[in-house]
Amino acid sequence: MTVTTAERPTIAVRHLLARIGRYTFLCLVLAFFALPLLWLATAPFDDTPTVTASLPRFTLDNFRALLDNPYALRSLLNSVYLAAGTAALVVTFAALAAYALSRVRVPGRDALLYGLLLLSSIVTGTATMVPLFELAFRLNLIDSRLGVILILSGGLLPAAIFILKDFMDSTPASYEESARVFGASPLQIMRHIVVPLVRPGLATVGVWAVANVWGNFLVPFLLLRGPDKAPAAVIMYTLYTEGGQADLRLLSTFSLLYSLPVALMFVFVSSRYGFRFHGGIKR
């Protein structure tokens, strides 16, 4: 190496400083990301919750506030309904479309896929809230949960088709060929051979769709009137913006309960598959 003995100590010092700098930085990062989350961890269990995060005097009584509020638990059910409906629609329609695109040569297929992907990334709910509202109004889908499901599905489908087509392309066609030799119909082949083969892909798309819908605020906020049908995202917002002093018992426990499913899903996905980007995104 080119390092002389006289230079070595300064380099050692520099490395030590770099090390200290790195740990200081990581501690600051930890503090920055943990600080807002502290309240979510402490307030639900504090017998007198305030907006300050502090060590709680432990109690579970706050969760009773959830039962007292007429909309809290119902809104979570509404969220489940919207998420399940959208995920079912997206997985089914995307799987059918992706299979057709993967196995049958459609003219201009790649252009179509890229076009759809481009469309779904530029036509966002925020940029098209005006026509979406209009459209829902004309189609009689205002204050309809089906309307929310359809609009969300339309937005998620292109990317879902794209992901699933990749999965379908990488499964060998030989199973389908032999099933066909034994006289299975295309739908039977789809159900008994293709679906089991691409199940990880279907699960990925399903989880991704649920996570998207679970947190979506804008579309149900625009389309659903009144708190009966509103999902947790909207009820959460009304809990701290409407009606004077916010009930922090209700707010904190509701936040926790509403966040729990996505947090659990994340833990499950990351422990099972590892939550990071692999080769796919690199090229």
Partner 1 sequence: MAQATSPPDELVEGARPVTGASPAPDAAGLGRARATGFLVPAMVLILVFLVVPAVWTIWLGLTNYRLTGLAAASPEIVGLDNFTDALGDERFRTSLLLTLEFVLGSAVIGQAGLGFAIAFALRDRRGPLRRVVEGLVLLSWILPSSVVAFLWIALLDRDAGTLNALLGIPGMAWLLDYPMLSIIIFNTWRGTAFSMMLYAAALENVPRSHLETARLAGASTWQQLRDVVFPRIRGHVLTNLLLISLWTFNDFAPFLITAGGPEQRSEILPVYVYKVALSGGELGFGAAISFVMLLINLVIALVYLRLLGRRKESA
Q: Show contacts with partner 1 in window 90-149 (CB under 8 A).
A: 92-94, 96-97, 99-101, 103-106, 114, 116, 118-135
Q: Tokens in use for 148?
A: 């929310």
Q: Hey, which residues between 175 and 194 contact partner 1 (CB under 8 A)?
A: 176-177, 179-181, 183, 186, 189-190, 193-194
Alpha helices, H only, 55-144: 64-68, 72-103, 109-122, 129-138
What is the maximum alpha-carbon separation in the chain? 81
Q: Is 12 in the site for partner 1 (CB under 8 A)?
A: no
Task: Specify the residue, 59 or 93, whose C-beta has the smaller distance to partner 1.
Answer: 93
238 burial type by CB count under 10 A (0-12 exposed, 13-18 middle, 19+ buried): middle
Q: Hey, which residues between 251 and 280 contact partner 1 (CB under 8 A)?
A: 251, 255, 258-259, 262-263, 266, 270, 275-278
Q: Hey, which residues between 211 and 230 contact partner 1 (CB under 8 A)?
A: 211, 214-215, 217-218, 222
Name the helix (H) or strand (E) containing 210. Answer: helix 199-215
Q: Hey, which residues between 51 and 70 contact partner 1 (CB under 8 A)?
A: 51-53
Nearest partner of 147 among 210, 221, 77, 80, judged by Cα: 221
Binding mask 74-93 for partner 1 (x = CB under 8 A): ---------------x--xx
